[in-house]
């Protein structure tokens, strides 16, 4: 009676076409049962791990070594004892930043390990214009991991961190809401309009009062818009020299199913919202409108002002249209944030 052996096979070396196919052909020939597979290629260097069960003698594994020799690959074979890893609650941690430094990686990974989480896998999701990594975490104190990583993110403003359960919900349709000012674009639209109208300092002063809570948002908006009175359409057209943030076009070109941008700028009347929506392929847009008569701004806002409450209503409306579940609606209270629900 033959003895079943559990072997961990590691293939490493320069990546080549057909390596995986030939390896599994060899494993099939020796009657191996594949229990687990992990493969990664970094800078054309391959690491392929395969966990197998086999009841053949060592002679049967000579084909593996011959395969490695012919391909110029290094083959390690290790006999594994003990029970398979018992998987508990799993999550995925995503790190996003312009440049993710070793110290930032240390803070994130130490937070996970300090709360008894084990990192099973780390992969790079993007490189430019933003760097991002995905960490698959097994076990640990999930609530403490989340809180710890939230603390890391709050103390490291150049690093964004997201924690999600590792389940099929990650593959579901998502609803993403983006503010425009200083988020989707690098500028504040009201400030750019004010510069064209020659009242930049006055508008900035009113903005400061609103930021300190000395005047409410709607009133501050009406006051700022009133200062733009008589600005002509030519001045407004020059406003289109805005710059989108480096990550925005990259992230909007990815595989999200539904995009919503929720603008706090006041430019729909000039077709700027529609223009940005068209150029960035955004599906839904909502913005305030400035009244224009005879080719000039009147200094008045048309219709209701977009507020936090109306943003929430807009999100619910689009979520219903697109059939998306609302998971983190409370994030709407955070101004100028990218919201993923």
State the burial class of residue 262 (Cβ atoms within 10 Å of its Cβ: 0-12, 13-18, 19+). buried
179 catalytic per annotation: yes
Q: Give the pLDDT mean for 4-32.
A: 91
Please tell me the predicted confidence (pLDDT) of residue 340: 34
> 122 CB contacts (<8 Å, ≥6 apart)?
133, 134, 135, 136
Work out whether the CA dihedral 256, 258, 263, 268 comes out positive or negative.
Answer: positive
Pick from 62-66, 164-168, 179-183, 281-285 the range whose average pLDDT is largest: 62-66
pLDDT tens track for 149-163 = 999 999 998 899 989
- Other C-beta atoms lying within 10 Å of the C-beta of residue 271: 11
Please tell me the predicted confidence (pLDDT) of residue 81: 81
| Structure tokens that stand for 214 in this block | 């000395």
Q: Is the peptide bond before 341 cis (omega within 30 degrees of 0)?
A: no
Choose, from 49, 55, 58, 179, the residue flagged as catalytic.
Answer: 179
Q: What does the alpha-carbon distance between residue 254 and residue 128 come to, in Å, rounded to a whole number?
A: 13
Please tell me the predicted confidence (pLDDT) of residue 272: 65
Of the two residues 61 and 112, the one the predictor is more confident about is 112
232 catalytic per annotation: no
Q: Is the pLDDT of residue 199 over 70?
A: yes
pLDDT tens track for 45-93 = 999 999 998 886 666 678 889 999 999 999 999 988 866 666 567 889 9
Q: What does the alpha-carbon distance between residue 329 and residue 324 come to, in Å, rounded to a whole number?
A: 12
Q: Give the pLDDT mean for 247-270.
A: 44
Query: H or E element: which one contains 39?
Result: strand 33-42
Q: Is the pLDDT of residue 253 over 70?
A: no
State the burial class of residue 71 (Cβ atoms within 10 Å of its Cβ: 0-12, 13-18, 19+). middle
Q: Dihedrals φ, ψ of 158, to 5°? A: -85, 0
Q: Does pTM surpass 0.85?
A: no
- For 26, 32, 289, the CA distances from 296, given in Å and listed in that order, are 76, 78, 13
Give the chain's domains with CATH numbers.
5-79 (3.30.70.260), 90-168 (3.30.70.260), 176-340 (3.40.50.1000)
Q: Give the chain's mean pLDDT.
A: 79
Choose, from 76, 143, 181, 191, the residue flagged as catalytic.
Answer: 181
């Amino acid at each position: 009676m033959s003895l079943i052996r559990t072997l961990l096979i590691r293939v490493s070396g320069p990546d080549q076409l057909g390596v995986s196919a030939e390896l599994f052909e060899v494993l099939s020939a020796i009657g191996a049962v594949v229990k687990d597979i992990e493969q990664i290629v970094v800078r054309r260097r391959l690491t392929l791990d395969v966990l197998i069960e086999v009841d053949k003698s060592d002679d049967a594994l000579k084909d593996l070594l011959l395969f490695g020799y012919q391909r110029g690959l290094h083959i390690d074979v290790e006999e594994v004892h003990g029970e398979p890893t018992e998987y508990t609650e799993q999550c995925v941690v995503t790190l996003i930043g312009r440049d993710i430094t070793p110290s930032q990686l240390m803070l994130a990974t130490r937070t996970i390990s300090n709360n008894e989480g084990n990192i099973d896998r780390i992969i790079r999701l993007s490189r430019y214009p933003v760097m991002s990594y995905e960490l698959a975490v097994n076990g640990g104190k999930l609530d403490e991991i989340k809180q710890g990583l939230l603390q890391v993110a709050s103390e490291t403003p150049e690093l964004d961190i997201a924690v999600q359960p590792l389940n099929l919900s990650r593959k579901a349709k998502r609803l993403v809401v983006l503010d425009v000012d200083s988020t989707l674009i690098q500028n504040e639209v009201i400030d750019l309009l004010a510069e064209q109208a020659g009242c930049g300092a006055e508008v900035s002063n009113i903005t400061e009062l609103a930021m300190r809570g000395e005047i409410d948002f709607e009133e501050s908006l009406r006051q700022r818009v009133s200062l733009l009175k008589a600005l002509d359409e030519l001045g407004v057209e020059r406003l289109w020299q805005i710059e989108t943030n480096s990550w925005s076009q990259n992230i909007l070109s990815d595989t999200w199913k539904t995009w919503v941008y929720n603008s706090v700028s006041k430019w729909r009347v000039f077709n700027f919202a529609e223009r940005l929506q068209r150029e960035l392929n955004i599906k839904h847009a909502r913005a305030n409108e400035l009244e224009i008569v005879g080719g000039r701004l009147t200094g008045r806002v048309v219709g209701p002002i977009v507020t936090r409450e109306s943003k929430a209503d807009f999100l619910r409306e689009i979520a219903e249209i697109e059939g998306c579940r609302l998971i983190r609606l409370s994030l709407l209270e955070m101004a100028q944030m990218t919201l993923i629900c």
